[in-house]
Structure 1
């Protein structure tokens, strides 16, 4: 992770503060592996950078949607470059399928916890 502090989502704009000595390269908003928008980086008086990215409304739907802020050295409208720096992620949850998504996540967590417990018991008895 980086030195990014999320300020949250308001009126469809995800904002945060990036604290570092050097200005950021191109900052992208990525959804499902594809670039959906560019983020704006604005220098602040304290040497940090305010990052603002508009969440495209056409990418919002029922269920869980995850958006990722990446920084790379790419140009214009190109897709993210390999090795791009992951700054932060934002998950947005909406709609009726939410209950099903949450149940599925809980089931997955329970099954993973069961595997961890079995492995710990095996190691403890060895």
Structure 2
């Protein structure tokens, strides 16, 4: 393709890609049909029922979930206070199974690789 045709192809592909969205937006209208005559007229909802369903129940769920999360730490007590030094044992996630002592016993050559042919990475020498 020549350079002159590329902008035309791009514009055409954009127009084709946007056509379904434009058609759906233009074709969609609000439903104006009347409800069937067999349906009963809904009773009005009291303001108290409205507040209970839309405010009180979600607020109660929020409080219950928050308490379920906080109670375990409140029962057993805080082990670490903010601003104080960490006095517990160190943890190494994904480290050797024997803990930190096992890391000191590992041969450095096993970590670095045996020779050049064993390396992977960007060199991709297998």
Q: Please, what TM-score do these two structures have when normalized by structure 2?
A: 0.27
Q: Please, what TM-score do these two structures have when normalized by structure 1?
A: 0.27
Instruction: Flag the structure with more relative contact order, 1 or 2, with Cα contacts below 8 A and sequence separation at least 6.
Output: 1
Query: Bigger radius of gyration, 1 or 2?
Result: 2
More helix by share: 2
More strand by share: 1
